């Protein structure tokens, strides 16, 4: 359990009343906290970007940006920072909204330094317990995910082993999609993991498509094509157990055949409504198809794939991602001719 008087705990006070700020700072300093104080939300945001704080004590009625608005800003990038709200406003809706926005404690003024310190200790301890619970839940979810993926990967291997022309297709698509994703600014490890998994599982729904259609030596008729176009929906259903822990993976596999111009399937969505991972997989999938040997043709050189991407930019492919492909495709895995 975190001790309230540990001197390593840094607290930011956001209070426009200098007397109140000084009173709290002196009292908390005596209790062993390291205290910094600012008078408005803008100053708070500046300090929070430059320094690490273990808790925030904030007045609601700040000049300019209110304290509850500051809280919402903070929660967009830090869900675990203990946040204590002080207010002279007694209306219940304000208090309820602050708690819903992520305030750990809500104290009415005038609050004595002792009350504030007690609330601060409670907020810090509560956040510590909550963080530990989240870690435990995440670990349990990941164990479930790993067990599920082991079984699904066996299905992928079974699907690809039946066709020498698509062997290791999903692994190659995943490698290409992740290389492009890494070239995009601001990508997180979590997003890269979701894109990789989405790519590995993007064709899993083909397990529900009859083999005589999948391996037909010739063009598909209209009815057969409609059956093939259902495979993203089958994929989304198969990966349903991942939806709780990694919902984006299910979205990625459902929409990996959507086109930038809205003429794809199964839902006909367009542009940035298509998940980023799906847009990357569309490019990586097409690259692998062009550069892999097929029953009816030899593998094509990378330069042919580059022309396909350029020609399809703005129709089949996201025009903002085609330049990313151009920057990275020479790093993609080699294909056997």
Positions marked active-site: 206
Lookup result for tokens 């209306």: 91
Cα separation, 275 vs 27, in Å, equals 50
Sign of the Cα torsion 125, 130, 133, 135 reads: negative
Q: Are 49 and 27 in contact (CB under 8 A)?
A: no
Query: What b-and-e string marks burial along 131-158, b requiring 16 or more CB atoms within 10 Å of the CB?
Result: eeeeeeeeeeeeeebeebbeebeeebee
Cα separation, 55 vs 44, in Å, equals 12
Q: Are 287 and 199 in contact (CB under 8 A)?
A: no
Token pair listed for 294: 């097929």
Q: Are 297 and 335 in contact (CB under 8 A)?
A: no
Hey, which residues does 107 pair with through a beta bridge?
A: 86
Token pair listed for 12: 């930011």
Burial (Cβ within 10 Å: 0-12, 13-18, ≥19) of residue 232: buried
Cα separation, 208 vs 218, in Å, equals 20
């Amino acid at each position: 359990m975190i001790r309230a008087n540990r001197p390593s705990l840094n607290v930011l006070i956001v209070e426009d009343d200098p007397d109140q700020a000084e009173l709290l700072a002196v009292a908390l300093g005596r209790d062993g906290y390291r205290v910094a104080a600012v008078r408005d939300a803008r100053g708070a945001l500046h300090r929070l970007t430059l320094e690490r704080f273990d808790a925030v004590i904030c007045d609601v009625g700040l000049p300019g940006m209110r304290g509850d608005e500051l809280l919402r800003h903070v929660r967009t990038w830090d869900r675990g920072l203990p946040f204590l709200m002080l207010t002279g406003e007694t209306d219940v809706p304000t208090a309820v909204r602050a708690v819903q926005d992520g305030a750990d404690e809500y104290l009415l003024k005038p609050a004595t330094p002792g009350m504030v310190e007690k609330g601060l200790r409670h907020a810090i301890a509560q956040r510590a317990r909550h963080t530990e619970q989240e870690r435990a839940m995440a670990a349990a979810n990941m164990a479930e995910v790993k067990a599920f993926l082991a079984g699904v990967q066996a299905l992928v291997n079974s699907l690809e082993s039946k066709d020498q022309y698509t062997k290791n297709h999903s692994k190659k698509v995943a490698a290409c999609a992740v290389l492009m994703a890494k070239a995009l600014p601001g990508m997180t490890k979590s997003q890269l993991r979701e894109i990789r998994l989405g790519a590995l599982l993007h064709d899993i729904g083909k397990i529900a498509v009859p083999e005589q259609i999948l391996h037909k030596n010739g063009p598909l008729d209209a009815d057969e094509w409609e059956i093939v176009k259902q495979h993203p929906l089958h994929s989304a259903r198969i990966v349903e157990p991942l939806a709780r822990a990694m919902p984006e993976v299910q979205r990625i596999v459902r929409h990996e055949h959507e086109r930038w111009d809205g003429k794809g399937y199964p839902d006909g969505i367009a542009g940035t409504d298509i998940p980023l991972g799906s847009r990357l997989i569309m490019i990586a999938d097409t690259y692998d198809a062009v550069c892999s040997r097929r029953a009816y043709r030899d593998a094509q050189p990378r330069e042919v794939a580059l022309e396909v991407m350029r020609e399809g930019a703005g129709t089949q492919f996201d025009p903002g991602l085609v330049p990313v492909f151009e920057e990275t495709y020479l790093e993609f895995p080699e294909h056997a001719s």
